[in-house]
Structure 1
């Protein structure tokens, strides 16, 4: 039974935006299964609505998965809370904000809101996965995992270079993750996309475990002059989410009285 469930999960993971359709022979080859076993798995998943059979004997993801994904989105506390904070960040800064989690050693973007002066970032659409070592959110998430787990991820996935600035050395990655863990935030300095930078910070649950990462992505020419303000905004926004999840943050900056008397949070103020 356990092996069958694992095989079913492996089949579902084959379907990506790059290859949204699969045939029996292709699935059998990809997973090292006999064609009869692959056919049985695909047929069963289709009968349960997790896949749909299309002309030519091929398969696509089924609409039942969409239904389940909506349930997940509507019942995940940190996502609901974070979305409200992200809306304030976007309204105040006009940039793009991301929310991400770590899945199978990769960054999975679960929410993205784009501001009125933001760059178009195709690589980080909702549901997209990226290597974790090159993004701000990915560094935050990796920094709070055991180093042995990070090594296993790197051994499995490598350190692919997306730009000339991407970290490709395991020693450099170790040093940077140690800094991220100590300082409480991470930067992506044109490591995923040239001319794009971001600051990211961790979101913690009531036990203090890092369950997600929040970021602001900014064109490089706007990022460097306002890096400190952007960093502070992201850290305090992430703390705001964490506190609503039950995590105790001692005297966070955003709760302190503001000299201007403005009602808006400091982290939601445009530079």
Structure 2
């Protein structure tokens, strides 16, 4: 591929990867300044991405936001393995090392949804598959490991006025009790639960972050009947390593490609 064409591809990818929660749109002039481009080059680049559906033009302001082609590609990525394929090797190593079931979950409204899980040799016993399961924010370490590290205002917006189903006597009964659990989790740096969602199991969870923001959780689950009370905490270091590996897998390509470059 000619050098000029390769530079164009790299610029286009850099523009797409520069979008974030704090950078939701670009104007032509500010993009040109940030990437060290001429205004005409920035205009052509943005227009070409919009023509293919990767960006869309905001009416009246003529600024560019992410477009529907990215949604289509994200759906295709998920149908062909997606996050599960990314997480499976990490979870397989964690389950083999600790003998506990390893679970990776992502936020889904007021729940987390399991996208990957690998059974440990010591259980826990279960009659259903973890993958695809929804865990509510108020019950269990897998969900608390994510929600406890969210900004409090954002968390309350998701959880206010939601019903709190009781799965056992250990399930927090209301938002005040849950916020206490969230505060304790944030202070400790990890989530530990027993019998909140399933009376037969105990779980230990950590947030998976992109930068400082939690985007998922990774947790280990064990059978209460066959394991001592403090057994999970013996594997906290292994869980921390898995959380770090998952964060790195999510961040690597963005970190390398997102920064504007001159030229």
Indicate whether the TM-score tops 0.5.
yes
Q: CA RMSD in A?
A: 2.5
The answer for the alignment partner of 1:140 in structure 2 is 145
The unaligned stretches of length 5 or more in structure 1 are 1-66, 248-271
The answer for the alignment partner of 2:223 in structure 1 is 219
Q: How far apart, in 2, do the equivalents of 1:184 and 1:80 lie?
A: 27
Deviation digits for residues 194-221 of structure 1 (CA, Å, limit 9, x no counterpart) = 121000011112x322111001000124
**Partner of 2:138: helix, strand, or coil?**
helix
Larger Rg computed on CA atoms: 2
Q: How far apart, in 1, do the equivalents of 2:168 and 2:109 lie?
A: 23
**1:96 and 2:101 equivalent?**
yes
**TM norm structure 2:** 0.60
Q: Is contact 1:215–1:234 with CA below 8 Å preserved after alignment?
A: yes
**1:72 and 2:78 equivalent?**
yes
Runs of 4+ in 1 over 4 A off after TM superposition: 67-70
**Partner of 1:224: helix, strand, or coil?**
coil
**1:114 and 2:119 equivalent?**
yes
**1:105 and 2:95 equivalent?**
no
Matched ranges for 1:1-271 at <5 A: 71-72=77-78, 74=80, 76=82, 79-122=84-127, 125-205=130-210, 207-221=211-225, 222-246=227-251
Which is bigger in relative contact order (C-alpha 8 A, separation at least 6)?
2
Aligned pairs, number: 179
Deviation digits for residues 208-256 of structure 1 (CA, Å, limit 9, x no counterpart) = 2211100100012415131321223212221222234448xxxxxxxxx
The unaligned stretches of length 5 or more in structure 2 are 1-72, 253-263
The answer for the alignment partner of 1:42 in structure 2 is none
What's the CA shift for 1:83? 1.5
**Partner of 2:207: helix, strand, or coil?**
strand
